Amino acid sequence: MKINSLGEFGLIDRIAAGVKQSPGVAIGIGDDAAATTATPGTVTLVTSDMLVERVHFDFDFCDPVVLGRKALSVNLSDVAAMGGRPRFFLLSLAIPPHFPVEAIDGFTRGLLQRAEEFGVTLVGGDTCASRGDLVISITLLGEQLPELVIRRSGARPGDLVCLTGEVGESALGLELLRRGERSGWAIDRHLDPFPRVREGLLLANAKIVSAMIDVSDGLLADLGHILKQSGVGARLGAGSIPCSDRFRDACRHAGEDPLQLSLAGGEDYELLFTIPPEAHQAAVEMLSETGAPLSVIGEVTTEEGLSVFDRNGLPYPVRFRGFDHFSPQE
């Protein structure tokens, strides 16, 4: 069955049928606008991401269920990066008229699976026809006490630059997909990332983080955002960036430089943050509750700019600093 045989309102009813009730939703899908209840004393965090077929995803690489999970994960990661708790989201779809209904069913199933994992509720959105490819837009609302919200602009000279998990694996997965592979742990990291929402909340509640961002455009690019907003610089130790044996081995077989992928790959959705040195042990112990490893990869400096050094303390040449939709490289 194709979308044009189902109709717009039939599609909306089909999506709404899978949405569970939430105590924070006063008015959900079906009216001109939704109405939600905020936790007293909190501010609302709002983030929006758009995924465009053949730009952000390709159905030759992924199935609709996995795409649904990733579509929400990238928004959840933004709220996690500010130490927030995700609550509600809006979904807008521009769909080609002859797009299979079964594919939208799969996408919705994956989307609502991830929503249930993190206790967030779909409360509305929009649907329209597309003359080209599928376009997905999600707007997520989260919340946090105003004094606990973590921004990009608080890094201070002397702070440690810290990272959860590992980076570069998603970029490797994408490269393997482009070469024709369709399964494996690196491909899973690219197609189905898991946002660090719990970790972001723990760090926010502990009040030890001075600045934070999620790694979506690449480690260097995203750290650059923190440095620019904070008016500081940083020294990054290339040898301190976590790199597993399986990642090194897979890169060697693929003919890829693991360090270049780690520095500039993107779409790992790990948390990159700065903390004062005296808070390091507390952060390690806190994140151990979630199973998330923490690595210190550099230090914030007074001098603006980002410098990368190898294990011998020599400048490390970086070929590419991260993803930009409108750069000449794209």
Reported as a single tens digit per residue, the pLDDT across 14-61 is 999 999 989 899 999 999 999 999 999 999 999 999 999 999 999 999
Domain end (from 114, 148, 182) = 148
Residue 328 has pLDDT above 70, yes or no: no
Which one, of 233, 271, 237, lies nearest residue 157 by Cα?
A: 233
Q: In this predicted structure, which of 1-5, 195-199, 318-322 has the lowest mean pLDDT?
A: 318-322
Q: Provide the domain count of the chain.
A: 2
Same domain, 77 and 182: no
Q: What is the CATH number of the domain that holds 100?
A: 3.30.1330.10
Reported as a single tens digit per residue, the pLDDT across 261-299 is 999 999 999 999 999 999 999 999 999 999 999 999 999
Residue 313 has pLDDT above 90, yes or no: no
Average pLDDT over residues 325-330: 51
Residue 7 has pLDDT above 60, yes or no: yes
Same domain, 74 and 8: yes
Residue 229 is which amino acid? Q
Q: What is the CATH number of the domain that holds 221?
A: 3.90.650.10
Same domain, 207 and 253: yes
The pLDDT value given to residue 320: 58
Instruction: Report how far Cα 207 is from the mean position of its chain's Cα atoms.
Output: 22
Average pLDDT over residues 87-115: 97
Mean pLDDT over each residue of the chain, to the nearest integer: 94
- Report the predicted TM-score, pTM, of the whole model to 2 decimal places: 0.94
The pLDDT value given to residue 112: 98
Which one, of 273, 168, 173, lies nearest residue 222 by Cα?
A: 273
Residue 71 has pLDDT above 70, yes or no: yes
Same domain, 60 and 166: no
Q: How far is CA 243 from CA 31, 113, 265, 282, 299, in A?
A: 50, 30, 13, 23, 19
Range of the domain at 231: 160-309
Same domain, 177 and 295: yes
